[in-house]
Each structure stands twice: as structure tokens, then as C-alpha cells.
Amino acid sequence: MEVCRKMVNMLGAERDLNFKETELCLGLPGSEPEVIIKATGKRGFLETVDLKLNLQSKEESMLTNASKEKNLLTSTKDPAKPLAKAQVVGWPPVRSYRKNMMAQNNNNNNNKSELERDQKAGGSSSSAAAALVKVCMDGAPYLRKVDLKMYKSYQELSDALAKMFSSFTMDGNYGAQGMIDFMNESKLMDLLNSSEYVPTYEDKDGDWMLVGDVPWQMFVDSCKRLRIMKGSEAIGLAPRAMEKYCKNHS
Amino acid sequence: MRKDRTGISQDDDRSPPADLRGAESSNKTRNCCGVGSVSGSTGPISMEFQAPCPDQVLENVLENVLQFLSSRRDRNAASLVCKSWWRVEALTRSDLYIGNCYSVSPRRAMSRFSRVQSVSIKGRPRFADFNLMPIDWGAHFTPWVTAMASAYPWLEKVYLKRMSVTDDDLALLAESFPSFKELVIVCCDGFSTSGLAIVASDCRQLKVLDLIESEVTDDDVDWIACFPESGATCLESLIFDCVECSINFDALESLVVRSPSLKKLRLNCNVSIGQLCRLIVRAPQLTHLGTGSYSSPDDAVPGEHASDLQSALSACKSLVCLSGFKEMLPDYLPAIYPVCANLTSLNFSYANIHSDQIISVIFHCHNLQVLWVLDSIRDEGLQAVASTCKDLRELRVFPLDARGDNEGPVSDVGLQAISEGCRKLRSILYFCQHMTNAAVIAMSRNCPDLEVFRLCIIALHSPDHVTGKPMDEGFGAIVMNCKKLTRLAVSGLLTDRAFGYIGKYGKLLRTLSVAFAGDSDMGLKYVLEGCPRLQKLEIRDSPFGDAALHSGLHHYYNMRFLWMSSCRLSPKGCQEIVRALPRLVVEVIKHDVAVCPDDTVDILYMYRSLEGPRDDAPKVVTILQ
């Protein structure tokens, strides 16, 4: 019943909930999200792109977000309800369109109070409206769109993109967390010289940047468009990325 | 053979019996006897005046007169007078209404009615909305649009409800009807934004594109940008609040600017308040506005757009209907105060806000006729409605949380207040946890104009929570006192007595919904024997069996459909119906959720049809023969 209700809540609140929560995995419940991800198979392209410097806080916020998700799930259920009510299909007679809307509403409201707490604690904030950006991949015939506000980290974004462009796989090892290490210039150059795919984005200034060189929230606020291109093409961006990096972190 | 027709009451979409089919002629040859007819061999083309024969005069006159007849019930009656009237009525009917897409085939409908400009088709029965029917049950638009493509090239309007519509269907529609003007799709599924894109780009005369409570797949097509880019459009109504796709705002704004006739605009959630402002400024002539999310997540200061929004709204002098508010930010609530006085319709049923906040809006809405809210309005809120909205005709109170507490936020107190304050009430849908007979009786006395009374007491088999008695007397009073009642939905603890009342007094009743009610077969018998106008009967989880089913044999040809799920029907009992009434299609549907023992029928769905068993039924459907 618990699982059923979870699923019902999940289906109703597409935007905010972390699908990883109910994804089947080999790891123990409560284990790190990353373990879960690896068990599900191939990745589309470069996993995450992140500054080493920010890694720590990102991991923390990822974990706290994950546990918040769990709280969210439990808080939206009413544990004391008799089973009989929950089992009657189609009762009360409310259309699923309305049910879904109200479930989303409930979750948004819960999110809002979570967010207020979050903001006080100085964590990253997200909000209800969409931050939709187009995503294109060199060589892919179709254009997709993602809502950046659905994700809380580069990791989550990369998972989603991997699912969308699943025909493109990546081999190669990018370290334990699969991150580009901007501090390590030679590693970066290796990547950019390869034929692997890297995600880039156009920011508010119209510049094309490598994804991952600014804190997540800043990225969400400034990203206008995403393009996944071959590393060798992105090489022209790297120096600018480095420049901006220096600017942002001096 | 006229046997079928005796005793059949007037109703919607009945076709004449088979014996009249031979008389139909969509070509206009008239049988004139003798006078003035020209044989082919006369030489010169001297046009002597030929006095038309009397029959032809009559038909011409009839044609001119019947043009003005718009009510389909009147037209159905006219078509029964004689063959001549039948023929002329068929030629002059421009609105074709198909209440059950399986009752008649497209070919048959189109060969009778040849000059149709507007088609309305309804598919699935209402209980399908609540997951009581398998998803792939049927109701496909494809055979209809395919037939119409050749039969009605001048088609202007299509209205669909509870049908499955594909993108190919929409493409065919856009391609086949150059004068196409209005597309209204309600509670349908099966199509995507690609289909919308084709309609937007190819239907150059499009005035109305209304998508209501339908499931539209988002395949990332920017359909808003597909409307013709230059020149004014004919758009009068654009409703897409159910389409969950991202919106190219620039394209939308440009479209609104190019649509000077636009009166109705209902946005989806992906339009922020800032954007909403900009749109309203462009379209102050709007009468109906759906505000989408009504949220502004990027506010540096909460409510920073409030004054812009307020002035934009104030400029809409013709605004009468507001809806949306799906992620409502209370900071923006006051922005609508200035327009409230002119509102006749307000849909707050997605606004999860506090009762006080709703009340603050209600106090400005003196002219409201239609109000949809969530039960978070609470009894106090309903009292505010009762004291302010003296003109209220329709009220719907939806449950915020279907599972609910033992003490629901609305109760008999709210219902009583409404009945005392809103005397002109015609239609009510009210979800609550418990109710009392007294409040329902009060409403039956205070609101004599009631035509639709739908009370949904969520707690199953719930008696009057004050007296502990069944809710029989309350519903009895409704059917007895509300002389105009045509639609009724019952709930709570009900015995056969309640159905006795319905059978005795519900003489105008056309639609009846029953759930978890009644004691025995007598209940259903009372209704089937007592309600001559009954057309749509939907029953779930009630103890009615084969004997009860049998008692309606005299009436089933008059009905659009009968639905019975999780009752006490057996396959044998249903088979007897088929034997007795060959023109009925009797579908027995296996549905896991109904959870019935093997020798009972999960779902019975039966309807009259001129076509016999359909050929597109999925495996779970057995059509008895």
C-alpha cells in the first residue's frame, strides 16, 4: 500500500519528485543516489561537469535534497486512513485531470515551505515555474526541451539528458564521479580533444560555455540554450570558460 | 412495421425505423404528376413557365420553414410527420448531433443528412472518466472524420467529447475542410501537440480552438508558432489550459496581437504573471480569461507585478469569466478585485488557497452566476457566497483531498446556507463527507428552479450524520419539490425507498447516477418503471440483479445507454436482454478493478444501435449475441 501510494503521488507530481526514489536498483535503500544510477545502465554522454571546488557542497545539497524528497513523500500521505477508502477505484468521482492538478498543487505548496526553510539555511532554491531550454545534440535529428527547474544538480540534469539522447553512449572513465576537473587542465584538454560529447550552453550574455563551470543555481538562471557537441568542437570554448571561471572565482 | 415506434418518447438522436430508409433521397428528384413536365424530345428551349406541382410547393415551403428550426428535438419530431417532412428535414439539418458514436454508423448518418455544417460526437460513457473502463475501449474519431472528409466538404465545426482522436485525424480534418472554423475537444485523448500544429497552420479560417480537460501529449512541437505569421487571424477563442507543454511566449504574444476578434483566452500553467500581464494589455477586449498558473516564481519582491496586473485587468471592461489560478500566489489575489463586480463566472476550483482569501474575492462578486470552488472554501466561505451571490445559478464544490478527514471542510451547514441565499440556483455539484436530510430538504424547498442536483457524499454508505437515518427523505424531497429536475446523482446510505421516490416523482429525469446505494432489485425496478424520460442511467456497486435488469425491457430502446458495474448481474441475465431486444448492443466488459466473482458481470454497458455489434472492441469486451 505504501508503495502504491508513493506511485500515485509520483504520477501526480511529475515536476518535483525525484524518480530515483522509486527506481529499482541493486543498492540498499537509503544508499547514495549515485549507486542507484550506475545500476541502471548506460549513460548518454559526459556525466556531470562540475568544479571540484563546489563538489562538496553540491554533494551535500544533493543528499539533503534526497532526504527532503523522502520527507515530502511521507508527508503528503495520510497514514491513518482506512484501507477500504483508498481501494475503491474511481471514488470519489473526480476526473484524473483534476486529481493530478491537485496533487501537483499539494506538492508545490509543500515545496514552498521546504524552500523557505532551505533558503534560510542558505541552500539552493528552486521555484514552481519552468525554466525551459532547448537542447540539441549534434547529429541528432530532433530537438528536445528540458525544464531546468526540475533538477537540482548537474548530476540530475545529465541523467535526464542521457535518457533523452540515449542513442549516444560514452565510454571512458571520468573519475569516480565522472566530473570534469577544471582545475586539472591536462585532463580537460584530453577530454576536449576526444570525440566524446560535452554539453555546452549559451548564457544570458550570448556566450557559449561549457556546462559545469558555475554553481548550479547560477547556471539555471543564466542558461538560455543547451547544445551537446563533440569535445573537439568545444575546444574553442575552453579558454573562455577558463576566463569566466577565473572571473567568477577571483 | 411500426411496432418499434409506439410508446417511444421523444428524445435526442433517434433515427427513423428501417422501413423509412428506402424513402430517403439525397438527390432532389421530385415526383410531380403530369402537369408541365417536359419530355426530352421537344425542340426549342422555350422556357414556358411550368407551374410546380402541389407537392413541390409544399416541400419548398417546408424547406424554407424548417431552415429556422434549430432544436434537434423539434427536428426529430418534424421528421416523423411523413416521408416528405422526413426528407426535407434531412436536407435542412445543418447540425448533426451523435450522442453515442456507436449508435449509428458514419455512412448511415451522412447518407441521411447531406448538408451538415456542424458535427457533435460523444463517445465513452461518463464513468470512463473515473478509471472504470479499460483504456482502449473504443470511441475512435477516425471512421467519422474519414467519412466526413468526402461527405461534408463544407464542414465548419466539430465538437468531440470522450473520443479518441489521433494526430492523423487532425491532419485529415485540416486538409479536408477549407471552411473549417471551430474545433472543440472535451475529455478526449490520443493526440499530441503535433496534431495541434497542423490545425493551427492549415485551418486558415479557424475561429475557435478549444481544448478542454483532454490529454494532449507534448512532443515538443511549437504549435503556437504554427499559426499563420502575418495578417490578422480570425481567432475568437483559444483555450488550451489542459495542454501541458511549454509555450513560446513571443509567438503567443504575437498571435494575440494579430487576433483582434479574440474574446476567450485560457492559458496553460507555463505562462507567468508577468507574461499574463503583457497578454492582457494586448487584448483588453477579452471576455473570458484563463490565467494559467497565476504564479510568479521569479519575483525579487513578492507581488511585484501586482499593480501592473491590476491595471491590465482593469482595462478589460468586458471580462465576465475568470479561471486558471492553478498555482495561485496569494500576493496576486487583490489584483482581481477590480474585475470581480462584472464577473458572471469564476472558476477557482484549482486554487488551493485559504478560505479567508476566497471570501475576500467573493465579497466583490455580486453578479456571479457560476462558481466552481474547492471545498477548502469551507462552510464559512459558502455562507459568504450565499450572502453575496444572489444571482448564482450554478455551484460546484470539488474536494481538495479526496481521501478527506472525518470532518470535511464543507457540510450540511454550507448547503443549507446556499439554499437560503441563492434562490435562483439551477445546478449544483457538491462533494462532502457527510450530509443531513434536513439540509437537502431545505434546498429542495428553497431552490425550485433546480434542474441538476448532484450530491456526492464521499464517505460510503453514510447516513444522516445527525439523525443516523438513511438519506432517503432528502433525495425524495428533491425529486418531489424540484419540478424541473432533469439530472440527479445520489449517494450516502440509501434504501429502496429512495428509489421509490425517484420512480414516483422523477418524471422529467433524464440522467441518473447511482453509487453504493439500494437494498434490492426493487430499487432499480422503481426507477425503470417510473421514469419515462430516463435516457442515461449509470450505476455502480449496488445490489441490483437480473430481475431488476429485466424490468426495463420496455424502456431500453428509449435510452442512450445503461451502465451497471459491480452489481449482481449474471451473464445469463444479460443474454436474455439480447434475446428480447435485438437492436440493443450489450457489452460485457471484464475489468480487474471491478473484482466480481466469476459468475457475475463486472461491467455491463448497453446501448441501442442501428449497426449491431461494433468491430473495434478490444479483447476485454464481449458483445453478447
In tens, the pLDDT along B125-181 reads 999 999 888 888 999 999 999 999 999 999 999 999 999 999 999 999 999 999 999
Chain A residues lying within 8 Å of B249, measured CB to CB: none
B537 half-sphere exposure, CB direction, 13 A CA radius:
26
pLDDT reported for residue A7 = 47
pLDDT score for B22: 37
pLDDT category at A153 given cuts 50, 70, 90 is confident
Residue A185 has a pLDDT of 58
ipTM at complex level: 0.83
**B127: which chain A residues are within 8 Å (Cβ-Cβ)?**
90, 93
Contact B398 A94 (CB under 8 A): yes
The per-residue pLDDT for B47 is 59
Asked if B140 and B164 touch (Cβ cutoff 8 Å), the reply is: yes
Site from A89, A111, A113, A135 to mutate, B interface, most B CB atoms within 10 angstroms:
A89
Least reliable range by pLDDT among A11-20, B78-87, B115-124, B329-338: A11-20
pTM of the model: 0.71
pLDDT of residue B270: 92
Q: Classify the C-alpha dihedral B104-B110-B115-B120 as positive or negative.
A: positive
> What is the pairing mode between strands B182-186 and B157-161?
parallel
pLDDT, residue B227, reads 96
B322-333 mean pLDDT: 91
pLDDT band at A216 (very low <50, low <70, confident <90, very high): confident
Q: Name the range with the highest mean pLDDT among A5-19, B125-139, B517-531.
A: B517-531
For residue A130, the chain B residue with the least C-alpha distance is B270
Count of CB contacts below 8 A, A vs B? 90
Specify the pLDDT at position A219.
87
What is the model's pLDDT at position A120?
Answer: 40
Model pLDDT, residue A17 = 44
Distant-in-sequence, close-in-space partners of A13: CB < 8 Å, separation ≥ 6: A103, A104, A106, A107
CB within 8 Å: A132 and B246: yes
Mean pLDDT in residue range B226-237: 94
Quick: pLDDT tens for A157-178: 887 787 777 644 443 333 333 3
Q: What pLDDT is attached to residue A32?
A: 43
When CB atoms are compared, the residue of A81, A93, A109 closest to B403 is A81
Average pLDDT over residues A83-94: 70
Give one DSSP letter per residue of chain A, joined into a string. Answer: -HHHHHHHHHHH-TTTS-GGGG---SSPTTS-HHHHHHHT---SS--EE--HHHHHHHHHHHHHHHHHHHHHHHHHS-TTS-HHHHHSTT-S---HHHHHHHHHHHHHHHHHHHHHHHHHTT-----SS--EEEEEETT-S--EEEEGGG-SSHHHHHHHHHHHTTT----S--TTTTEE-TT-HHHHHHHHHSS-EEEEEE-TTS-EEETTSS-HHHHHHH--EEEEEEHHHHTTTHHHHHHHHHHHT-
Q: Report d(CA B469, CA B574) in Å as an integer.
A: 34
Contacting A with CB below 8 Å, chain B residues are 127, 129-132, 187, 213, 215, 220, 242, 246, 270, 272, 293, 295-298, 326-327, 349-350, 352, 374, 398-403, 431, 456, 458, 460, 515, 540, 593
Q: Regarding beta strands A132-137 and A225-230, do their DSSP bridges make them parallel or antiparallel, or are they unpaired?
A: parallel
Residues of A within 8 A of B456 (CB-CB) are: 92-93
> Quick one: CA torsion of B483, B486, B489, B493, rounded to 10 degrees?
30
Of residues B522 and A164, more confidence is placed in B522
pLDDT at A99: 83
